Chain A
Amino acid sequence: MIELPIYGQNFSADESADPILGIDLGTTHSLVAVFQHGEARVLCNEDGEALLPSVVSYPIDGSPVVGQAAIERSRLDPKRTIFSAKRLIGRGLEDLVVERATLPYDLVESGERKIVKIDLGDRLITPEEVSAQILAACRDRAVKQLKLPPERLRRAVITVPAYFDDAQRQATRRAAQLAGLEVLRMVSEPTAAALAYGLDKKKAARVVIFDLGGGTFDVSILELQEGVFRVLATSGDTHLGGDDFDRAIMVHVAAEIQQRSGIDVLSDPAARTALRMIAEKTKKALSASESAEFVYHDPSAGIAYRKDIDWRMFQTWITPLVQRTLNGCALALQDAGLTPEDISDVLLVGGSTRVPLVKAAVAQFFNQPASDELNPDQVVALGAAIQAGVLGGSVRNALLLDVTPLSLGIATAEGTVSKLINRNSAIPAQAKEGFTTFVDGQSAVKFTIIQGERELAKDNRTLGEFILRGIPPQPAGLPQIGVRFSLDADGVLHVRAMEERSGVAAETVVTPKHGLTDEEVESMLADAWENAEEDLVTRRTMDLRGQLKNVRHAVAKHMDIARARMDETALERLEDAYEDSEDVDDIHDPNPLKGILDELEEAANPLAELLMNQVATETVRNRKVSDLIDE
């Protein structure tokens, strides 16, 4: 027997320890939850709202705005209001052809590694930065609700779609890093949902989680037994969700408008934003009633469009999308080695499962009613909070065993893929494969790391490349190069290669093709720090200018009284101070501005006293105080 080292596992729960946040970073909205006093709860804002819209707006002068306030800016400033950043994260432009056509903001490819950036006009930002703003807003909400300082809320469990690939997971981790959060674990969204659903269930069960959100689709099959949640198989599509239902409506309406008026409304960013919002409303209405009115007016373009969209039309438009979700279900069942009869519960998660056609199609596929007993919007965040409880030690009776959604391998010289880890393997996972050289005396070998299920390397996602150098010259085929893949519990891949005869080794965490590197994240963090300071200075300067303006306005208004009733020295001082404060537009440093303001206020003190006396007198004469005092 191998002697297993036993060390102190099961750290005891410490109720006074800093809470670990459970964050559901969604395409359309995000939530934050915590596990406290034996239960998970979602944190709401002051208005009792649990959902934080995943929208960030970047005003041309000022700090980014997140959530509902950002939505309110979207019509005003469509090109600087970013929604659905989750669909862009860890992606290249070539992945975003469909989305790009209907997005009101502009995307560009930047740098050698072709990172997708959003073009705000005056600067470029990455999807990671947008997500970081949303994550920071989640933490701010927790700071307010839990009444704890931010430095005590720095650890989080963040959910990601089960079908997110390595690049998307790493990009999400980097977004958290930018927001100053340490990610203790990334959990798959459907797995988190299962945890929230099954924690208090005693009996063993095989559960299907059908999770159709705003931008992503996942289906996972789990086995529940004695508090252990074991994922048997998962499948999905990171480009399929309620956004696509909206787009289906939008595209049909836009085509009809063009037919009637000849105007291509989709070419105008503001119109795209407006149409998308109306389409979303129409979709929601169609979940509750048989038809909904689509009204779009744009007087400046001479468009007055209205149409009754009934549920049949909508069904026809979205049927191909719903079929894609069913294909995913078939695949997951196949990989789990199960048939619909083996499934004991089917759970619906994600706002888009409110669409009646989706609900009906899922029930029919699994031949049983699909349960929507849980709040489809909140269940993932609650699961994240429970997982935070598991990691923190306050939930002792639960454990998640997850799988990797996609196969991982190395491209061969022939252009095929040598698979090291198969999809739906339990994580963490390790695998090793031997390679050798092709040419006599070859001293370096390049490895291309591939994720996906297709036969040919080029049809899959290339995660990255790395080169093992310094192999001592040997005849072709003689070197023994062992490549070892380690897939950690977050589903992130680490690769190590070693030439075994010489011991030459190379090691890497695969840097995703489209993601940010460590250096880039560090420089962004540094920028953010500098900008934060800069922002602070700017705001202070603007505040001081505002105050100065108010005081000057008051002084000017009562200058007559000052001249008539103030003594000469005091009047001179006031006139000087007034003059000195006239031209301050070139002063950007808050300190001299504060000096000028203080001097003016002090010089105006005698005038203020005079006015107070006058107010008292005037009041006696039955005049209103407000007539005398400005503002």
Chain B
Amino acid sequence: MLDPFQLLNLPRGFDLDDCVLRGALIKASLQWHPDRFALGTEEQRDKAEDHMADLNEAFAMLSSPLQRAETLLALSGFALNEGTDQTSSAAFLMRMMELKEEADDALKSDDVVRIGEMRRRIQEDIAHRVEQLRDSFRAWKAADYCPGTLTPLRALLTEAVYLQRTLDGLQITTMFQS
């Protein structure tokens, strides 16, 4: 799999400052963007297109903390498994189902304000879990990446991914598309 840390020349880890990440993309883009090869050979331009596409993908994988966490797990050989990973509790699943219903209602209402408020609420929920994830990754590192310490981290990440999906489904997009 593509190692985004390596591509962008960044140290592998969950803690990653936005400015540092942006700086890494800019530095790589200045070297690799196809615009730099506009007068080059076709082969050079094709190579630049390919490599810049990889850089863009790497940036996208790292800029979202959740994707970054998933990437880190996958790179360490502990990828999150769709469906089989246990969430923390049945109570959480219950809450998710309620949230999904609420989201569907909000979408049906076409009420931009209501959708916006709900999005903000979910975003706060995710941000809260991202903070906890930060601690979990530190704990994992402190435990010399012992797989045994991963269970709470995986549960936390699974919850956050659920929330993110609900958020992705709750967009004002479709209302404006004719």
- For residue B109, CB closer than 8 A to chain A, the reply is no
Give the size range of B's interface with the partner.
35 or more
Residues of chain B contacted by A452 (CB below 8 angstroms): 177
Determine the distance from Cα of A8 to Cα of B40 in the docked complex, in whole angstroms: 9
Q: Taking the nearest CB of chain A, how far is it from the CB of B94, in angstroms? A: 26
Residues of chain B contacted by A327 (CB below 8 angstroms): 172, 175-176
Q: Which of B34, B44, B56 contacts A7 (CB 8 A)?
A: B44
Q: Are the CB atoms of A489 and B52 closer together than 8 Å?
A: yes
Q: Are the CB atoms of B39 and A392 closer together than 8 Å?
A: yes
Q: Are the CB atoms of A331 and B173 closer together than 8 Å?
A: yes
Q: Are the CB atoms of A225 and B53 closer together than 8 Å?
A: no
Q: Are the CB atoms of B112 and A330 closer together than 8 Å?
A: yes
Q: Are the CB atoms of B54 and A11 closer together than 8 Å?
A: no
Q: Are the CB atoms of A489 and B49 closer together than 8 Å?
A: yes
Residues of chain B contacted by A334 (CB below 8 angstroms): 119, 171-173
Q: Are the CB atoms of B47 and A226 closer together than 8 Å?
A: no
Q: Are the CB atoms of A428 and B49 closer together than 8 Å?
A: yes
- For residue A234, CB closer than 8 A to chain B, the reply is no
Q: Which residues 389-442 in A have Cβ within 8 Å of B in the complex?
A: 390-393, 399-401, 425-430
Q: Taking the nearest CB of chain B, how far is it from the CB of A382, in angstroms? A: 17
Q: Are the CB atoms of A401 and B33 closer together than 8 Å?
A: yes
Contact bitstring A2-27, B, C-beta under 8 A = 1, else 0: 10110111110000000000000000
- For residue A453, CB closer than 8 A to chain B, the reply is yes
Q: Which of A4, A228, A455 contacts B26 (CB 8 A)?
A: A228
Q: Which residues 34-57 in B have Cβ within 8 Å of A in the complex?
A: 34-40, 44, 47-54, 56-57
- For residue A563, CB closer than 8 A to chain B, the reply is no
Q: Are the CB atoms of B174 and A454 closer together than 8 Å?
A: yes
Q: Are the CB atoms of B35 and A328 closer together than 8 Å?
A: no
Q: Are the CB atoms of B47 and A328 closer together than 8 Å?
A: no
Q: Are the CB atoms of B174 and A430 closer together than 8 Å?
A: no
Q: Are the CB atoms of A428 and B6 closer together than 8 Å?
A: no
Residues of chain B contacted by A553 (CB below 8 angstroms): none
Max chain B CB contacts within 10 Å: which of A324, A427, A428?
A428
Q: Taking the nearest CB of chain B, how far is it from the CB of A319, in angstroms? A: 16
Nearest CB in chain B to that of A430: its residue: B53
Q: Taking the nearest CB of chain A, how far is it from the CB of B43, in angstroms? A: 9
Q: Which residues 364-401 in A have Cβ within 8 Å of B in the complex?
A: 387, 390-393, 399-401
Contact bitstring B155-178, A, C-beta under 8 A = 1, else 0: 000000000000000011111110
- For residue B14, CB closer than 8 A to chain A, the reply is no
Q: Which residues 75-92 in A have Cβ within 8 Å of B in the complex?
A: none
Q: Are the CB atoms of A429 and B112 closer together than 8 Å?
A: no
Q: Are the CB atoms of B38 and A426 closer together than 8 Å?
A: no
A9-B31, A399-B29 known; A429-B53 Cβ under 8 A: yes
Q: Taking the nearest CB of chain A, how far is it from the CB of B1, in angstroms? A: 12
- For residue A185, CB closer than 8 A to chain B, the reply is yes
Determine the distance from Cα of A5 to Cα of B32 in the docked complex, in whole angstroms: 11
Determine the distance from Cα of A185 to Cα of B35 in the docked complex, in whole angstroms: 8
Q: Are the CB atoms of A454 and B177 closer together than 8 Å?
A: yes
Q: Are the CB atoms of B36 and A10 closer together than 8 Å?
A: yes
Q: Are the CB atoms of A428 and B53 closer together than 8 Å?
A: yes
Residues of chain A contacted by B142 (CB below 8 angstroms): none
User: Would you list 21 pairs from A and B whose C-beta atoms are within 8 A, ordered by A residue?
Assistant: A4-B51, A9-B36, A185-B35, A185-B38, A225-B22, A225-B26, A226-B26, A230-B25, A230-B26, A328-B176, A330-B112, A331-B173, A399-B33, A401-B33, A426-B60, A428-B52, A428-B56, A452-B177, A486-B50, A488-B34, A489-B34
| Given A399-B33, A453-B173, A455-B174, 12 more pairs with CB closer than 8 A | A2-B7, A10-B36, A185-B35, A185-B38, A228-B26, A228-B29, A399-B35, A429-B56, A430-B57, A486-B49, A487-B53, A488-B49
Which B residues form the contact surface with A (CB < 8 A)? 6-7, 22, 25-26, 29-40, 44, 47-54, 56-57, 59-60, 112, 119, 171-177
Which A residues form the contact surface with B (CB < 8 A)? 1-2, 4-5, 7-11, 184-185, 223, 225-226, 228, 230, 324, 327-328, 330-331, 334, 387, 390-393, 399-401, 425-430, 452-455, 459, 486-489
